[in-house]
Protein backbone atom coordinates (compact mmCIF):
# COMPACT_ATOMS: atom_id res chain seq x y z
CA UNK A 1 0.00 0.00 0.00
CA UNK A 2 1.35 3.39 -0.92
CA UNK A 3 0.43 6.77 0.49
CA UNK A 4 1.55 10.35 0.48
CA UNK A 5 1.01 13.21 2.86
CA UNK A 6 -0.37 16.61 2.00
CA UNK A 7 2.94 18.21 2.89
CA UNK A 8 4.78 16.37 0.11
CA UNK A 9 2.04 17.26 -2.37
CA UNK A 10 2.21 20.90 -1.29
CA UNK A 11 5.97 21.00 -1.75
CA UNK A 12 5.66 19.39 -5.17
CA UNK A 13 3.06 21.97 -6.21
CA UNK A 14 5.38 24.78 -5.13
CA UNK A 15 8.14 23.30 -7.30
CA UNK A 16 5.75 22.84 -10.23
CA UNK A 17 4.59 26.45 -9.93
CA UNK A 18 8.17 27.69 -9.91
CA UNK A 19 8.95 25.72 -13.08
CA UNK A 20 5.90 26.74 -15.08
CA UNK A 21 5.67 30.31 -13.85
CA UNK A 22 2.63 32.07 -12.47
CA UNK A 23 -0.57 30.20 -13.22
CA UNK A 24 -3.91 31.85 -13.75
CA UNK A 25 -6.82 31.39 -11.34
CA UNK A 26 -8.20 28.46 -13.38
CA UNK A 27 -5.01 26.46 -12.74
CA UNK A 28 -4.59 27.33 -9.07
CA UNK A 29 -4.75 24.36 -6.71
CA UNK A 30 -6.86 24.87 -3.60
CA UNK A 31 -4.44 23.54 -1.01
CA UNK A 32 -7.04 23.56 1.76
CA UNK A 33 -9.33 21.32 -0.30
CA UNK A 34 -6.44 19.05 -1.22
CA UNK A 35 -5.44 18.78 2.45
CA UNK A 36 -9.00 17.81 3.46
CA UNK A 37 -9.19 15.20 0.72
CA UNK A 38 -5.80 13.73 1.60
CA UNK A 39 -6.57 13.50 5.31
CA UNK A 40 -9.98 11.93 4.65
CA UNK A 41 -8.39 9.43 2.25
CA UNK A 42 -5.92 8.37 4.93
CA UNK A 43 -8.75 7.73 7.39
CA UNK A 44 -10.71 5.84 4.72
CA UNK A 45 -7.72 3.56 4.14
CA UNK A 46 -7.48 2.85 7.87
CA UNK A 47 -11.23 2.18 8.03
CA UNK A 48 -11.21 -0.30 5.13
CA UNK A 49 -7.97 -2.01 6.26
CA UNK A 50 -7.11 -4.86 3.87
CA UNK A 51 -9.90 -3.91 1.46
CA UNK A 52 -8.00 -0.72 0.60
CA UNK A 53 -5.40 -1.81 -1.93
CA UNK A 54 -3.51 1.45 -2.52
CA UNK A 55 -3.76 5.21 -2.30
CA UNK A 56 -1.86 8.12 -3.74
CA UNK A 57 -1.90 11.83 -4.40
CA UNK A 58 -0.74 12.43 -7.97
CA UNK A 59 -1.03 15.76 -9.76
CA UNK A 60 -3.14 17.06 -6.90
CA UNK A 61 -5.74 14.30 -7.23
CA UNK A 62 -6.30 11.86 -4.40
CA UNK A 63 -7.08 8.26 -5.40
CA UNK A 64 -7.94 5.35 -3.12
CA UNK A 65 -8.11 1.92 -4.78
CA UNK A 66 -10.44 -0.55 -3.06
CA UNK A 67 -11.69 -4.07 -3.71
CA UNK A 68 -15.01 -4.17 -5.62
CA UNK A 69 -16.84 -5.58 -2.59
CA UNK A 70 -15.70 -2.56 -0.55
CA UNK A 71 -17.13 0.17 -2.77
CA UNK A 72 -20.34 0.47 -0.76
CA UNK A 73 -18.47 0.59 2.56
CA UNK A 74 -16.12 3.24 1.16
CA UNK A 75 -19.01 5.37 -0.09
CA UNK A 76 -20.93 5.07 3.20
CA UNK A 77 -17.84 6.06 5.18
CA UNK A 78 -17.11 9.07 2.99
CA UNK A 79 -20.73 10.23 3.12
CA UNK A 80 -21.60 9.58 6.75
CA UNK A 81 -18.27 10.08 8.52
CA UNK A 82 -16.30 12.47 6.32
CA UNK A 83 -19.23 14.46 4.89
CA UNK A 84 -18.56 13.83 1.20
CA UNK A 85 -22.16 14.28 0.11
CA UNK A 86 -21.97 14.26 -3.69
CA UNK A 87 -21.10 11.50 -6.13
CA UNK A 88 -20.27 13.76 -9.06
CA UNK A 89 -19.11 11.19 -11.62
CA UNK A 90 -18.47 7.53 -12.40
CA UNK A 91 -15.75 7.14 -15.01
CA UNK A 92 -14.82 3.70 -16.42
CA UNK A 93 -11.73 3.01 -18.56
CA UNK A 94 -11.13 -0.02 -20.78
CA UNK A 95 -7.46 -0.99 -20.38
CA UNK A 96 -7.43 -3.81 -22.92
CA UNK A 97 -4.17 -3.92 -24.85
CA UNK A 98 -2.26 -1.59 -22.53
CA UNK A 99 -0.98 -4.06 -19.93
CA UNK A 100 2.58 -3.94 -21.30
CA UNK A 101 2.73 -0.16 -20.99
CA UNK A 102 0.70 0.28 -17.80
CA UNK A 103 0.37 -2.97 -15.82
CA UNK A 104 -3.05 -3.40 -14.29
CA UNK A 105 -4.88 -6.22 -12.51
CA UNK A 106 -8.10 -6.32 -14.56
CA UNK A 107 -9.48 -5.10 -17.88
CA UNK A 108 -11.56 -2.21 -16.54
CA UNK A 109 -11.09 0.36 -13.84
CA UNK A 110 -14.10 2.29 -12.60
CA UNK A 111 -13.45 5.61 -10.86
CA UNK A 112 -15.97 7.21 -8.52
CA UNK A 113 -15.45 10.96 -7.99
CA UNK A 114 -16.86 11.88 -4.58
CA UNK A 115 -16.95 15.51 -3.51
CA UNK A 116 -17.42 17.34 -0.22
CA UNK A 117 -19.52 20.47 -0.68
CA UNK A 118 -17.43 22.88 1.35
CA UNK A 119 -14.95 25.61 0.45
CA UNK A 120 -12.14 24.10 -1.58
CA UNK A 121 -14.45 21.31 -2.87
CA UNK A 122 -12.20 18.41 -1.76
CA UNK A 123 -12.59 15.40 -4.04
CA UNK A 124 -11.56 11.78 -3.63
CA UNK A 125 -11.39 9.32 -6.50
CA UNK A 126 -12.34 5.83 -5.31
CA UNK A 127 -11.15 3.24 -7.85
CA UNK A 128 -12.13 -0.37 -8.34
CA UNK A 129 -10.71 -2.84 -10.87
CA UNK A 130 -13.31 -4.96 -12.64
CA UNK A 131 -12.71 -8.13 -14.63
CA UNK A 132 -14.45 -8.93 -17.90
CA UNK A 133 -17.98 -10.11 -17.05
CA UNK A 134 -17.73 -9.21 -13.36
CA UNK A 135 -20.27 -6.98 -11.60
CA UNK A 136 -20.11 -4.13 -9.09
CA UNK A 137 -22.62 -3.26 -6.35
CA UNK A 138 -24.76 -0.25 -7.24
CA UNK A 139 -24.22 2.92 -5.21
CA UNK A 140 -27.79 4.18 -5.67
CA UNK A 141 -28.64 3.30 -2.03
CA UNK A 142 -25.81 5.63 -0.95
CA UNK A 143 -25.87 8.32 -3.66
CA UNK A 144 -29.01 8.75 -5.76
CA UNK A 145 -26.89 10.46 -8.44
CA UNK A 146 -25.31 7.08 -9.20
CA UNK A 147 -28.35 6.08 -11.28
CA UNK A 148 -27.56 7.77 -14.59
CA UNK A 149 -23.79 7.41 -14.11
CA UNK A 150 -24.19 3.63 -13.76
CA UNK A 151 -26.50 3.48 -16.76
CA UNK A 152 -23.94 5.37 -18.84
CA UNK A 153 -21.17 2.99 -17.73
CA UNK A 154 -23.37 0.04 -18.70
CA UNK A 155 -24.35 1.63 -22.01
CA UNK A 156 -20.82 2.44 -23.20
CA UNK A 157 -18.72 -0.26 -21.49
CA UNK A 158 -21.11 -3.10 -20.63
CA UNK A 159 -20.27 -2.89 -16.90
CA UNK A 160 -23.15 -4.24 -14.82
CA UNK A 161 -24.19 -2.96 -11.41
CA UNK A 162 -26.11 -5.24 -9.04
CA UNK A 163 -28.72 -4.43 -6.40
CA UNK A 164 -30.60 -1.89 -8.51
CA UNK A 165 -33.47 -1.69 -10.96
CA UNK A 166 -33.65 -0.15 -14.41
CA UNK A 167 -30.10 -0.81 -15.60
CA UNK A 168 -30.66 -0.03 -19.26
CA UNK A 169 -29.08 2.10 -21.95
CA UNK A 170 -28.93 5.83 -21.37
CA UNK A 171 -27.55 7.30 -24.61
CA UNK A 172 -27.65 4.60 -27.31
CA UNK A 173 -30.94 3.14 -28.64
CA UNK A 174 -32.31 0.21 -26.65
CA UNK A 175 -31.72 -2.19 -29.56
CA UNK A 176 -28.08 -1.10 -30.10
CA UNK A 177 -25.65 -4.01 -30.30
CA UNK A 178 -22.44 -3.77 -28.28
CA UNK A 179 -20.87 -1.08 -26.11
CA UNK A 180 -19.21 1.70 -28.14
CA UNK A 181 -16.40 2.74 -25.76
CA UNK A 182 -14.91 -0.72 -25.35
CA UNK A 183 -11.63 -1.13 -27.18
CA UNK A 184 -12.87 -4.26 -28.95
CA UNK A 185 -15.91 -2.48 -30.37
CA UNK A 186 -15.83 -2.54 -34.21
CA UNK A 187 -15.29 0.92 -35.63
CA UNK A 188 -17.23 0.26 -38.84
CA UNK A 189 -17.81 3.12 -41.27
CA UNK A 190 -19.07 3.80 -44.77
CA UNK A 191 -17.23 2.44 -47.84
CA UNK A 192 -15.64 5.22 -49.89
CA UNK A 193 -15.04 5.12 -53.65
CA UNK A 194 -12.34 7.11 -55.36
CA UNK A 195 -12.36 7.76 -59.11
CA UNK A 196 -10.29 9.76 -61.55
CA UNK A 197 -13.39 11.53 -62.82
CA UNK A 198 -13.19 15.32 -62.51
CA UNK A 199 -15.84 16.68 -60.18
CA UNK A 200 -18.58 18.58 -61.93
CA UNK A 201 -19.13 22.13 -60.78
pLDDT at residue 10, as a whole number? 35
Domain range annotation of the chain: 6-133
Residue 74 and residue 45: Cα distance in Å, rounded?
9
pLDDT at residue 18, as a whole number? 37
- Let me know: does 126 contact 120? Beta carbons within 8 Å: no
Q: Alpha carbon of 61 to those of 5, 123, 128, 169: distances in Å?
A: 12, 8, 16, 30
Chain centre distance of CA 51? 18
pLDDT at residue 9, as a whole number? 39
Residue 43 and residue 153: Cα distance in Å, rounded?
28
- Let me know: does 136 contact 128? Beta carbons within 8 Å: yes
Give 181's Cβ-side CA count (13 Å radius): 16
Closest-CA residue to 112 (of 128, 96, 98, 133): 128
pLDDT of the chain along its 201 residues, tens only?
Answer: 444 433 333 334 443 433 344 444 555 567 888 999 999 999 999 999 999 999 999 988 999 999 999 999 999 999 999 999 999 999 999 999 886 777 889 999 999 999 999 988 999 999 999 999 999 999 999 999 999 999 999 999 999 999 999 999 999 999 999 999 999 998 876 666 666 666 655
6-133: what fold? Beta Polymerase; domain 2 (3.30.460)
pLDDT at residue 198, as a whole number? 66
Amino acid sequence: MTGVTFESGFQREEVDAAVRGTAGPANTVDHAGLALATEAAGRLVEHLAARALAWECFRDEVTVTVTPDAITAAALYLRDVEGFGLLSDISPIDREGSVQVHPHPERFNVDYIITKLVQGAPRIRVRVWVAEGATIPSLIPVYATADWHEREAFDFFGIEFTGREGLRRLIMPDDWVGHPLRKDYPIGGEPVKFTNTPREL
